[in-house]
Amino acid sequence: MTGSRLPAPAGSRLDRTRPLRFTFEGERYRGFTGDTIASALLANGVRVLSRSFKYRRPRGLYAAGSHEACALVQLPDEPNVPADRRPLADGMTVTGQNYTGSLARDRGAWIAKLGQFMPVGFYYRAFYRPRGIWHVWERVIRKRAGLGRVEPTTPHGYHDKAYAFADVAVIGAGPAGMAAAVAAAEAGAEVTLIDENPEIGGALTYGRFDTDGRQADEALKRLAKAVREHPTITVMTGAVCTSIYEDNWLAIDGGRRLTKLRARDVVVASGLQDGLMVFANNDLPGILAATTVQRMIWHHGVLPGQTAVVATQDDWGYTAALDLAEAGATVLALLDTRAKPGNSALAKLAKDRGIELLAGWMPQAAEGEGELERVIAAPIEGALRAADEPRSFDCDLLCVSARPAPAAALLAHTGVKLAFDPASGAHVPAALPPGIHAAGAVNGLAPLDRVIADGERSGAAAVGPAKGGRAKASRKPARKSAKASAAAPQPILDPAEGKAFVDLDEDLTTGDIRDAVALGYQDVQLLKRFSTLGMGTSQGRHANPPGVAVAAEARGDEIGAIGLTTARPPLAPVAFGTLAGRQFAPLRRTAMHRAHVEAGAQMMVAGAWLRPAYYGAPDEAETRIREEAVAVRRSLGLIDVSTLGKLELRGRDAGVFLERLYTFAYQGLAVGKSRYALMADETGAIVDDGVVCRLGDEHFYVTATTGGVDEVYRTMLWWNAQWRLDVDIANVTAGFAAVNLAGPASRDTLARLCDDVALGAGDFPYLGVRQGHVAGVPARILRTGFVGELGYEIHAPAGFGFDLWRALMEAGESFGIRPFGVEAQRLLRLEKGHIIIGQDTDGLTHPYEAAMDWAVSKKKPFFVGGRAIDIMRARGLTRKLVGYKIEDGEAPLPKECHLVIRDGEIAGRVTSSAVSPTLGYPIGLAYVPPDLAAEGSRFQIRADAARMVEASVVALPFYDPGNARQEV
């Protein structure tokens, strides 16, 4: 076939003035704007799109829509592209999938000959004996399994997320969906109408609902106009609703954009999905679902074959046969599995067109080398067997109208049970949860006028008086009674030769299902897991009806007794990029950030904050860090500690409250004084630390760790939600900038900028707290000792942070002030033996293990971790945090988490380790067994490359044990 197209009105999606060029398997082709990859290929006579999953059989388009895996193709940077949905773009390079060599001559197709060695469930049965053989097989299988090829160098494309709201979301813009949207909008609702196709209209855009198709044309015109003109209806086309999550939270995949839509009510009008007719070689390219044939004709102007046979289980196949005949194809025969045609007017029209009607017939086999060349048809005898009087038809198209099933997977996501309805021969939704409505064909309804009426009913029900709307409720139309049209059972043939597939994704045949049932996998859930029925791309949407029918027959049971497997999101495959979106992460900068950047700081992430790690080039990091530490010890340094957590507690009970939260005592703390604060949780584990400052009788200012403050704040609020003490707690972390001016010259430097606070050693001693002004900025000044030198922590309103920093840097210039970063601070605090919560403690460390007995008050009646700490203390310690030094100058420096080893067993671990810039030798903190915790004890650390390093326990702090330098 050439690239010729049918004239308008066929090809409604095409813009024939805009041709597109593309290649498939290296061959050049042309299509039009409005084509999908599949329609353009079919227009060029290309039918084989891929090879099948297991047997590598050639496969082509069967069902249009986001269903079976046969029409998945490969783009250079994207695998598993659904060719029947992806719009064709100019210059596209498309290849098939799942083959070795070329698509036409797959070098891997020999595997099909081994079919008898790959019985159902073969990977559970074949590869596990002898022991260890799986590892050999795994390499072979991994290479062959899967579908498309992922190109690892593909850049992350642009994807984003949107958040939307609607009173009523309607899924599916076919006749029922459009009617529902209009009814809901007219009752006053904001409506979003969602459809995966590029246009609204659904089956009305290609289907023929009466003899001449006029009914569909009129309904489409009327409903589409009403949808377009209604101001409160938002239409989303080209968008797949992949699931309905709790409280009507819809995930809508628009390709580049994932919309998360919250709807008060949801109307599911997802219509029907194509079924599969089961006979030998029912997977040959050239066998197309009737709706696919009609979409190709009416959407894309493509006639999928010149000589056709139509096989049908219902009236729909007659309309497809008429479409084919009117588009110029020769229809050799219409095989109707029913003994009598349902609609005599359609039958007469078909006869008038010269189409031979064979009632009670179906295809027995399809034949052809790689593509369909012949259909062997036979009359059905008995329930499911074809009699042996076949006729052969030479043709290039077999148009199949198997009984469609309600597309109810989205409803199943909401917990709706699907019950087998003998009348329609399909599983239809049973009771719906509140806020979920189903409309139209998904309810098992036909014909068109009933479908539209059901759409109007459910649209109104979604905005009924109970929802504050104006719509009047009307009764749900009943499905046709079983007596009127008991659907004939689906005819399924077990061929003597060739494979009859029930699952095209997973290459499962009728024989596979029967074998699985015979092996005892009778329960539908077990059957699925053992055989992989329904576990492919379409998640069983085309495979479950025939699969369940075969299983029912094999069990000798009713279809309704078999049940269905659980449908889970997503409805259709979703690209990882769509889920990932744009990858935003919040980042906090301190008020002094610009000053750090200008000073050449290397920034590191601490919690959500950016902090200077050190100042200077990365290749000089070690030197710079050491210089910064030395500057603090010798003269003066300044560090930005704005990221510290800061809490303000006021009220009559603030002191009592703090004593309950922290391990220390605070009621007796004098105004103008500060005290270390260690917080343990109810299990006695250390969770945070900081400093409590008393600014007034009923006013405390409390610092917390950078990463811990949010949890500390929440924990405080949680306890006081129960205690209801008279205390107001505010997290003022972002409100204050803070610096630590540290070093012997800090007092003289501060004196240059502060004239309303007496700074003398007697006036403002160690652990004192004052309020005054620094460089004209209102400030809270804390004499702290974290780095072990004379120093002042200055907290000022964040808006003044930058000016404060600049003023201090200028004032300290003559003393050689250096800004220092987190790395230098870590060294300095280690020399002083101060722990860092989360580095030197873990989720179990209690204060006695961390050698912080001094921070635990023994006099208080209660504190949060108190009881648990008492219990653990009474049981005796199992480990203790100690300071150690390493005397061997040649030994490698241990790293954090290197293990302490005793007699070949793990006895502890290192938590902090560094070469002390002040002392000149390696020091660290480590957990060791209590009997190794005494000063002078020696223990072994296993460093890199398993080298054992000897360490000896020393008293803490390492530096200035008398605190003479910080308490001046």
Q: Output the six-digit token pair for 504.
A: 């095209």
Verify binding: residue 165, another protein, rule CB under 8 A.
no
Residue closer to another protein, measured from CB, 18 or 652: 652
Out of 105, 125, 867, 895, the residue judged to bind another protein by CB under 8 A: 867
Verify binding: residue 431, another protein, rule CB under 8 A.
no
Stretch that binds another protein, among 38-46, 51-59, 241-249, 563-571 (CB under 8 A): 241-249
What does the angle CA 875 – CA 876 – CA 878 come to, to the nearest 5 degrees? 115
Out of 388, 722, 859, 903, the residue judged to bind another protein by CB under 8 A: 722
Under DSSP, the state recorded for 876 is: -
Q: CA-CA distance, 106 to 97, in Å (whole number)?
A: 10
Q: How far is the CB of 192 from another protein (least distance, A)?
A: 17
- Bridge partner residues of 649 (DSSP): 700, 729
Under DSSP, the state recorded for 560 is: H
Q: CA-CA distance, 181 to 171, in Å (whole number)?
A: 9
Q: CA-CA distance, 396 to 133, in Å (whole number)?
A: 45
Q: CA-CA distance, 275 to 487, in Å (whole number)?
A: 14
298, 206 Cβ separation under 8 angstroms: yes
Residue closer to another protein, measured from CB, 603 or 725: 725
Out of 526, 535, 599, 868, the residue judged to bind another protein by CB under 8 A: 868
3-state secondary structure of 131: coil
Q: CA-CA distance, 363 to 550, in Å (whole number)?
A: 17
Residue closer to another protein, measured from CB, 158 or 249: 249
E strand or H helix that includes residue 598 = helix 593-598
Verify binding: residue 717, another protein, rule CB under 8 A.
yes
726, 652 Cβ separation under 8 angstroms: yes
E strand or H helix that includes residue 562 = helix 559-562
What does the angle CA 478 – CA 484 – CA 486 come to, to the nearest 5 degrees? 100
Out of 726, 896, 960, 967, the residue judged to bind another protein by CB under 8 A: 726
Site string for another protein, 477-516 (x = CB under 8 A): ----------------------------------------
Residue closer to another protein, measured from CB, 711 or 803: 711
Stretch that binds another protein, among 199-207, 246-254, 367-375, 571-579 (CB under 8 A): 246-254
Site string for another protein, 637-676 (x = CB under 8 A): ----------------x--x---x----------------
Torsion, CA 397, CA 403, CA 409, CA 410, rounded to 10: 90
Type of residue found at 55 = Y
Stretch that binds another protein, among 106-114, 362-370, 482-490, 716-724 (CB under 8 A): 716-724
Q: How far is the CB of 838 from another protein (least distance, A)?
A: 20
Q: Phi and psi of 670, rounded to 5°?
A: -75, 150
Q: CA-CA distance, 155 to 150, in Å (whole number)?
A: 12
Q: How far is the CB of 405 from another protein (least distance, A)?
A: 29
Stretch that binds another protein, among 245-253, 492-500, 564-572, 847-855 (CB under 8 A): 245-253
Verify binding: residue 714, another protein, rule CB under 8 A.
yes
Verify binding: residue 708, another protein, rule CB under 8 A.
no
Nearest-10 crossing angle of helices 524-531, 510-518: 120
Q: How far is the CB of 774 from another protein (least distance, A)?
A: 31
Out of 866, 894, 908, 957, the residue judged to bind another protein by CB under 8 A: 866
Q: CA-CA distance, 655 to 662, in Å (whole number)?
A: 11
Residue closer to another protein, measured from CB, 445 or 661: 661
Q: CA-CA distance, 208 to 354, in Å (whole number)?
A: 19
Residue closer to another protein, measured from CB, 721 or 945: 721
Residue closer to another protein, measured from CB, 114 or 874: 874
Measured from the Cβ of residue 830, the count of other Cβ atoms closer than 10 Å reads 25
Stretch that binds another protein, among 153-161, 464-472, 866-874, 889-897 (CB under 8 A): 866-874
Out of 725, 893, 901, 915, the residue judged to bind another protein by CB under 8 A: 725
- Distance of CA 360 to CAs 201, 380, 386, 484, Å? 33, 6, 10, 19
Q: How far is the CB of 863 from another protein (least distance, A)?
A: 8
Q: How far is the CB of 170 from another protein (least distance, A)?
A: 20
Residue closer to another protein, measured from CB, 319 or 720: 720
The separation between the first and the last C-alpha atoms of the chain, rounded to the nearest angstrom, is: 97
Out of 122, 158, 723, 921, the residue judged to bind another protein by CB under 8 A: 723
Buried b (16+ CB within 10 A) or exposed e, 21-31: ebebbeeebeb
Verify binding: residue 683, another protein, rule CB under 8 A.
yes
Point out which residues bind another protein (CB under 8 A): 245-247, 249, 260, 262, 653, 656, 660, 682-683, 713-714, 717-718, 721-726, 731, 860-862, 866-868, 871
